[in-house]
Amino acid sequence: MKKAKIYIPNKSAMQSGLGKINKWILEYETKDPTINPLMGWESSSDTLTELKMEFSSKELAINYAKKMKIDYEIIEPKKRKVTKKSYADNFLG
């Protein structure tokens, strides 16, 4: 049976805002990865690992996985810890 993970991707290092981080990704897990003898890279004959599907909500991704009979694991996003700061804090000592 196919296995997949459902998650929200992390922001890139070049992204400072919160835009475009509300999509959920369904990504298949690699079956029996092997080492390419020529280059030393990890490779697999399973082409599903190259597929990433985007969903607008977690429920849609779960429903798709259930409908297609895919075992899935949900990776919940970590909550951001926001500390309120004042500009004046830079000058207080």
Return the pLDDT at 51: 85
Q: Where are the domains of the chain?
A: 1-7+23-29+46-79
Among 1-5, 8-12, 53-57, 79-83, name the most confident range: 53-57
- Output the CA angle 34-41-5, nearest 5 degrees: 65
Mean pLDDT of the chain: 84
Q: What is the pLDDT of residues 8-21, one digit of tens each?
A: 988 777 777 766 67
Q: Is 37 helix (H, G, I), strand (E, B) or coil?
A: coil
pLDDT score recorded for residue 93: 65
C-alpha pair distances (Å), 71 with each of 6, 13, 25, 35 = 10, 31, 15, 26
Q: How far apart are CA 53 and CA 64, in angstroms?
A: 10
Tens of pLDDT along 32-47?
778 888 888 877 777 7
Nearest one of 2, 1, 9 to 75, comparing CA atoms: 9
pLDDT tops 70 at residue 89: yes
**Burial (CB count <10 Å: 0-12, 13-18, 19+), residue 15:** exposed
- As a whole-number percent, the residues of the chain with pLDDT over 70 amount to 94
